């Protein structure tokens, strides 16, 4: 989507230089992705799950260690 926005050029150039982006689009896309990630983290922090909700969301039969062993054995083959 094309949008016209006034940006702080020095901030954009600093981000491009420090992160190694070659285009303004890459830098802006990264910044939006980071902002979205932070918004999700803030939402999770503000609305934590209860212990009951966590228990309901977890399959008691799930064995994380067996799953990891399975992945490692497939990788080694």
Q: What is the pLDDT of residue 56?
A: 87
3-state DSSP call for residue 3?
coil
C-alpha span between 61 and 4 (Å, rounded): 52
Residue 58 in tokens: 């977890």
Tell me whether residue 34 is in a domain.
yes
Residue 15 is part of which domain span?
Answer: 9-76
C-alpha span between 29 and 37 (Å, rounded): 12
Tell me whether residue 61 is in a domain.
yes
pTM reported for the whole predicted model: 0.63
Provide the domain count of the chain. 1
Tell me whether residue 60 is in a domain.
yes
Tell me whether residue 39 is in a domain.
yes
Taking only the tens place, the pLDDT of each residue in 3-61 is: 899 999 999 999 999 999 999 999 999 999 999 999 999 999 999 989 898 888 888 88
The conformation of residue 22, written as its DSSP 8-state character, comes to S
């Amino acid at each position: 989507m094309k949008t016209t926005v006034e940006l702080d050029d020095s901030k954009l150039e600093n981000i491009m230089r420090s992160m190694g982006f070659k285009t303004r689009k890459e830098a802006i896309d990264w910044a939006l992705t980071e902002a979205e990630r932070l918004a999700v983290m803030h939402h999770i922090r503000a609305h934590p799950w209860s212990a009951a909700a966590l228990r309901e969301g977890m399959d008691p039969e799930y064995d994380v260690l067996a799953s990891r062993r399975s992945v490692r054995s497939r990788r080694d083959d």
